[in-house]
Amino acid sequence: MPESNYAAQPAGPDRDSARELILVTGGTGLIGKAVVDRLARNYGVLSLDREPASNDPDPLKSYKMDLASEEDVHSVIARIKSDFGSRIASVVHLAAYYDFEGRPSDLYDEITVKGSERLIEALKHKDLKVEQFIFSSSLLVYAPQPPQHKITEESPLLPKWDYPESKVKAQKVIQAENEDIPVVILRIAGVYNDEGHSIPITNHIQRIYEKQISSHFYPGNLSYGNPFVHLDDLVEAIELAIKKRKQLPHETVINIGEDVTLSYGYLQNEIGMLLHNRKWKTYKIPKLMAKIGAWIQNLFGKNFIKPWMIDLTDDHMEIDISKARELLGWEPKHSLKQTLPKIIASLKKDPEAWLKVNKLK
């Protein structure tokens, strides 16, 4: 197929060959679907996922691809080249493995690390002309810093559990295996939207909503916290990275998140006020006691808080997003502080639906 066929649209008289082609791995996930929907306004977009979108009216725009299978990855990339030609404006690589159980899993290496390597190799071996490769990393790869110490893209790395460690390893693989394709590493804060859809935030809200005893105890520093970013702002950052791809350095790392970090203590009191019209009384407890409590809760039921998380409660991060402003012209239009009332309002309006959509029941 000639290179001018550069659009993710069915062949035929209505095909618009001017629409640049974007591949999005993990395209049916929360972030992936939002990215696909936004980019489809101006680009030809292909969603690549282990479970393709079942309701996509155009099967040519959704490919089933398992990153754990070298044969599968190479086969799908070859089929895309055959269907749409050899030119790709950007590959947005969102697919990865994660869970909060804290148990070692080979899937971090097999999907996140080796899966990224398989994808890069397939793009190279099929002689595709790829203008950009965007890799979604995490702010969790950084070493925590005390308040008022902003984390920049040059700050030291210290991943403390398997998920961020797999992101660091995958980045190294991408950088080692790829020389010809410009790479953008986005180190992304915890993602939320107007309904919640952030596991730490929604579990925090649920504990206070249900007035669980555990909601009154915390083993860490109440003045510490971690950054977040609204899903709409993240999607905009990805879109800007694609739009400005020809002006970006050949390889760059960019922090994406809100530059104001809300503390755990602030969230406790704000959630308490929004739900029960009072500040939420919080007592500090020893870490050993918290670990025993978390172990007991998980012994008799599934609980979000796991013993391994207790050691992270004294970690704090604030990020510098000046590079995102400079290179992308991006800064967040939303904030968790302003969005929290919307999330709580959604819960109050229909508690059953909110708990269900946030996978809390």
- Give tens-digit pLDDT for 178-221: 788 999 999 999 999 999 999 999 999 999 999 999 999 999 99
- Give tens-digit pLDDT for 58-116: 544 889 999 999 999 999 999 999 999 999 999 999 999 988 777 789 999 999 999 99
Let me know the angle formed at the C-alpha of 142 by 136 and 145, rounded to the nearest 5 degrees: 140
Q: How many angstroms separate the CA atoms of 146 and 150, rounded?
A: 9
**Helix-then-strand count for the chain, H and E:** 12, 15
Q: How far is CA 59 from CA 14, 56, 73, 259, in A?
A: 17, 6, 18, 40
Phi, psi of 221 (to 5 degrees): -80, 120
Answer whether residue 205 is part of any domain: yes
Answer whether residue 78 is part of any domain: yes
Domain total of the chain: 2
- Give tens-digit pLDDT for 255-292: 999 999 999 999 999 999 999 999 999 999 999 999 99
- What pLDDT score was predicted for residue 302? 76
- What pLDDT score was predicted for residue 127? 84
| Nearest one of 204, 191, 205 to 351, comparing CA atoms | 205
Q: How many angstroms separate the CA atoms of 226 and 151, rounded?
A: 11
C-alpha neighbours within 13 Å on the C-beta side of residue 276: 15
- What pLDDT score was predicted for residue 255? 98
- What pLDDT score was predicted for residue 18? 61
Answer whether residue 3 is part of any domain: no
Query: Do 214 and 307 belong together in one domain?
Result: yes
Answer whether residue 5 is part of any domain: no
Which domain, by its residues, includes 205? 199-223+262-315+346-357
Neighbours of 215 (CB within 10 A): 20
Answer whether residue 110 is part of any domain: yes
- What pLDDT score was predicted for residue 202? 97
Q: Are 73 and 7 in contact (CB under 8 A)?
A: no
Q: Are 58 and 43 in contact (CB under 8 A)?
A: no
Answer whether residue 109 is part of any domain: yes
| Nearest one of 271, 275, 241 to 256, comparing CA atoms | 241
Q: How confident is the model at residue 16 (pLDDT cuts 50, 70, 90)?
A: very low
Q: How many angstroms separate the CA atoms of 244 and 321, rounded?
A: 17
Structural element, H or E, at residue 244: none
- What pLDDT score was predicted for residue 6? 42
Query: Do 26 and 66 belong together in one domain?
Result: yes
- Residue 228's SS3 state is strand
- What pLDDT score was predicted for residue 9? 44
Query: Do 51 and 155 belong together in one domain?
Result: yes
Q: Are 85 and 6 in contact (CB under 8 A)?
A: yes
Query: Do 232 and 304 belong together in one domain?
Result: no
Query: Do 328 and 308 belong together in one domain?
Result: no
Query: Do 118 and 210 belong together in one domain?
Result: no
- Give tens-digit pLDDT for 118-176: 999 999 987 899 999 999 999 999 999 999 999 999 999 999 999 999 999 999 999 99
Query: Do 231 and 177 belong together in one domain?
Result: yes
- What pLDDT score was predicted for residue 126? 79
Please compute the mean of the pLDDT values over residues 12-31 and round it to a whole number.
76
Query: Do 248 and 351 belong together in one domain?
Result: no
Given a cut of 70, whether residue 331 has pLDDT beyond it is: yes
- What pLDDT score was predicted for residue 55? 57
Beta bridge partners of 22: 45, 90
Query: Do 117 and 207 belong together in one domain?
Result: no
Neighbours of 266 (CB within 10 A): 16
In 116-169, DSSP assigns E strands to 129-130, 133-138, 150-151
